[in-house]
Amino acid sequence: MAFHLYNGYGTRKRDYYPGGGHVVDYREILRRHSLGDSIRAIALGVNSSRDTVSATLRAASAAGVEWPLDDDVSNGDIQDILFPGKYAYASPYTVPDFAKIHEALAKKGVTLTLLHTEYSAVVLASGGIPYQYTQFCEKYRRWARVTKATMRITHKPGDAMQVDWAGDPLYITDSVTGEQWPAYIFVAVLPCSWYTYAEACGDMKQENWLLCHVHAYEYFGGATRLLIPDNCKTATTENNKYEVVLNRSYNELAEHYGTAIVPARVRKPDDKAAVEGTVRHVSTWITAALRDRKFFSLEEARRAVIEKLEELNSRPFQKKPGNRVTAYEEEEKAWMIPLPTVPFEPSTWSHPKVSTDYLISDGKNKYSVPYDLIGEHVDVRLTRNLVEVFFQGTRVALHVRLVAAQREPVVKPEHMPEAHRRFLSYNEHDFTEWAASVGPNTLKIVRYFMQKGRAVEQGFKPCASLQKYAKQYGNERLEDACARALELSVQPSLRSISAFCTTPPPKKDGDDSDAKAKVTSHGITRGASYFSKGGKRK
C-alpha cells in the first residue's frame, strides 16, 4: 500500500512505499506537460532526471495516457500502466497485461470472469501472486479510464434501460398568431437490443419525465433491472463521490416497477453510451425527418413522432442481420420484468411552510391542513387526483385534487380552530330562534341585521356579536339595550347596542329607592333652619 503526500496543487507529490521505495510523480509530470512546460522545467519541479521525464512522456504517449486524470488515479496506478512489471518492489502482485485483456474482450463470449481465471492460472503456475477478481476488474476499469480506452461491456437482456432528452426539439405553431414553442423529445433505449422509445412533450418537468417512463415501460411491455438516467434534477438531487440522492418522485417510480436507479456519473456520458448514440439517431431519423412539417398541436406532433419511431425500430442494422424489433423479440423480451397490474401514478413533492391561513397550494388551488401546523414545514405529494400532506412521515391531510382553478379554498372543518368551525355552522334559522328566546327587541335587531345586506350571510357576524353580549351581560341587559337602540334609531348599529350594554338603564319616574338608600347612619345632620337667624342659639 502506498502512502500519499500532496503538493500545493492538490496532486500527489510522491507515493512512498514501505521499505523506502518511491514512485516518480507521474501526475505532476503529465500536468506540467499539458501546460507546455519544458522537460528541464518539469524535471526540476518534480525532482527527477530529464531522462525519467522523457521516458514517462514517451510511455504516456504510447499508452494514450493524457492529463487530466481522475483524482483517484495514483502515481502507482500510472506506473503500472506505463511501465508494467518494471518496479517489482511496488507490489507483490503480478500486474496483468491490460492491453491484451482489452483486446480479448472484443471477442464474442469473452468476459472478465474468463480472463481472470486464465490470468490466475498463468500467474500461479509461474509462482506469482494474482489479483483477486474484484481487484482485477477494478484495475482493468481504471486502466481503461486512464488510457481513454473504450470499455467493451456486454449488455445482458432485460438488464437496463437508459433514458435522456434529445437535444433538438420539434416546434408547435399557433394556428392564429403563428407563434412557435418547442416540443421536447424523450428517449429511452434497451442497450442489449437497442429497441427504442421516443415521445414528444410540452416541457421537461417532473410530471412529463415520470409519465414518459411509464409510457416507455408500456411500449416495451416490461421493466428492466436497472434504470440509468442522467443527473438532471428530475432524477437526482445530489450526486457526488460520497452519495447519490435520488429525486423522491423518481424513486417512487423505481419502487413501483421493481427497478433500481443507477445514475450516470457527472460529466461521464459514456456511462449511458447507448442512449447517447440513440439520441443522435432520433435527431436524424425523427427530428430532422420532420423538419419540414408544421404541427398545430402537441398531439399532432406526438403522432408523427410515433410513426417515425416505428420506422426507426424497423430499420435494418448495418453490421448484423435484423433490426431493433427483431432483436428485442428474439433476445430481450423474455427477460423483461413483468409490469405491475396497476400503472404508476406520477407524483410531485414539495416542502412548503404552512401559512397563518393553514392552507397549502398545488399551483392552482389551495387546500387546508390542521391549523396547529401553522409555521411548520410539511411534505406535499401531488398526483393528478390527490393532494396528500405529510408531517414528520405521517399523513395529516388528504384532498381530492381539483382540475380547474377556483376562488375559494378547499377547507375541511376538522382542520379549523373551534371559533372558525362555529362560524361555518352559522345559519339564519338558529340566529332567529335564539333571538326569540331572548326577547322581541333582540329578535327585531337580528332580523334587521340579516335583511339589510344583499345576502343573509352578511348579518351573521353582528348576530354572533349579540350572542357574545348575551353571555357577557345577560339576556335581560341585552334585551334592554336592543330596546334602547330601537328607540334611538330605526337603523340601529352594533356599536350603540354595545354601548347600551355597558351602561345601566335610566331610572323610571317615581323610583326613589336610591334616595331612601342614602339615609345616613352616623351623627346628627343640622337642617337649614339651624343656619337661619332665628334658629341660632344664644
Grid cell at residue 335: 427477460
**Ramachandran area for residue 467 (φ above 0: left; ψ -120 to 50: alpha; else beta):** alpha
Mean pLDDT of all residues belonging to the chain = 83
Position 457 confidence tier, pLDDT thresholds 50, 70, 90: confident
Q: Is 124 helix (H, G, I), strand (E, B) or coil?
A: helix
Alpha carbons within 13 A on the beta-carbon side of 366: 12
Position 20 confidence tier, pLDDT thresholds 50, 70, 90: very low
* Residue 490 reports pLDDT greater than 90: no
pLDDT at 464: 87
Residue-wise pLDDT for 205-214, tens only, equals 998 999 999 9
135, containing H or E segment? helix 133-146
Residue-wise pLDDT for 314-330, tens only, equals 999 877 788 999 999 98
Residue-wise pLDDT for 119-166, tens only, equals 999 989 988 889 899 888 888 877 777 776 554 455 788 889 999 999
349, containing H or E segment? strand 348-350
Q: For residue 231, give the amino acid letter.
A: N
Alpha carbons within 13 A on the beta-carbon side of 179: 3
Residue 380: how many CB atoms within 10 A of its CB?
A: 20
SS3 content of the chain, % helix, strand, coil (to 5): 45, 15, 40
Residue-wise pLDDT for 29-47, tens only, equals 888 888 888 888 888 888 8
φ and ψ of 181, to 5 deg: -140, 155
Position 372 confidence tier, pLDDT thresholds 50, 70, 90: very high
pLDDT at 142: 76
Alpha carbons within 13 A on the beta-carbon side of 402: 15
* Residue 10 reports pLDDT greater than 50: no
pLDDT at 43: 86
pLDDT at 32: 86
* Residue 302 reports pLDDT greater than 80: yes
Whether the Cβ atoms of residue 301 and residue 181 lie closer than 8 Å to each other: no
Grid cell at residue 49: 532526471
* Residue 515 reports pLDDT greater than 60: no
pLDDT at 46: 85
Q: CB under 8 Å to 499, separation ≥6 — which residues?
A: none
Segment 161-183 shows an average pLDDT of 92
As a whole number of angstroms, the distance between CA 76 and CA 88 comes to 12
* Residue 500 reports pLDDT greater than 80: yes
* Residue 6 reports pLDDT greater than 60: no
Residue-wise pLDDT for 379-395, tens only, equals 999 988 899 999 998 99
Segment 172-188 shows an average pLDDT of 93
Segment 239-243 shows an average pLDDT of 78
pLDDT at 19: 39
> Percent of the chain having pLDDT more than 70?
84
* Residue 117 reports pLDDT greater than 50: yes
Whether the Cβ atoms of residue 252 and residue 210 lie closer than 8 Å to each other: no
* Residue 400 reports pLDDT greater than 90: yes
Alpha carbons within 13 A on the beta-carbon side of 71: 4
Q: CB under 8 Å to 521, separation ≥6 — which residues?
A: none
Position 530 confidence tier, pLDDT thresholds 50, 70, 90: low
Alpha carbons within 13 A on the beta-carbon side of 46: 32
Segment 41-61 shows an average pLDDT of 86
- Taking alpha carbons only, the member of 64, 71, 102, 78 closest to residue 29 is 78
